[in-house]
Structure formats: C-alpha cells, structure tokens
Amino acid sequence: MLSDCRELTCPWLLVKVKQQLSKLPAGSKLEVWASDPSFLSDIQKLAQKGSIEVINNVAKEQFYIVEIQNRCDYPFTSN
C-alpha cells in the first residue's frame, strides 16, 4: 500500500500514517512518501514501541520513502 504524504507535516503526517496502519493486519507493509524530515525520527521512535518496524528508508532529492511493516494485527486500535 502506498501513502503519498508529501503535503503533510508532523504531527498530521504521523497521525495519518497511524490511521492507515491501524487498518492493516500483521505483516502488511505501508510505503510512505514524506517530505518532512522530522518524520524519520518520529516513525523510528514509534517503531521502538514494538507494534511496527521500519524496514527501509531512502532519501530522494525532494522527499523520503519509508517502508513500514505491521508487527501485530491492526496496531493503534483499541480492539
């Protein structure tokens, strides 16, 4: 799944990514395109909590591509 969030800045960028991840089961991957450089450190901090994993991140000329994988079913939900 691809999420083009280049127009968003944190915290709204992180909110949108969490919403999208919460709809995906364990093992699902989300590719995020983001132009806000603070997103890289924010998503790494969130990954340290254990429900997601940052698989890869690539710096392009104008934005970052970050691949995230869910470690559990539907993270960030109250299910």
pLDDT digits (tens, 9 = 90+) for 5-42: 999 998 999 999 999 999 999 999 999 999 999 999 99
Asked whether the predicted pLDDT for residue 79 surpasses 60, the reply is no
Q: Where are the domains of the chain?
A: 2-70
Query: From 3.90.1010.10, 3.90.1510.10, 3.30.110.40, 3.20.20.10, which CATH number describes the 2-70 domain?
Result: 3.30.110.40
pTM for the structure as a whole? 0.87
**Strands in the chain per DSSP E:** 2-4, 29-34, 52-59, 64-70
Burial of residue 60 (CB within 10 Å: 0-12, 13-18, 19+) is exposed
Going across the sheet that includes 52-59, the strands are 2-4, 29-34, 64-70, 52-59
Write out pLDDT tens, residues 32-77.
999 999 999 999 998 998 899 999 999 999 999 999 999 988 787 6
CA dihedral sign, ordered 47, 24, 12, 39: positive
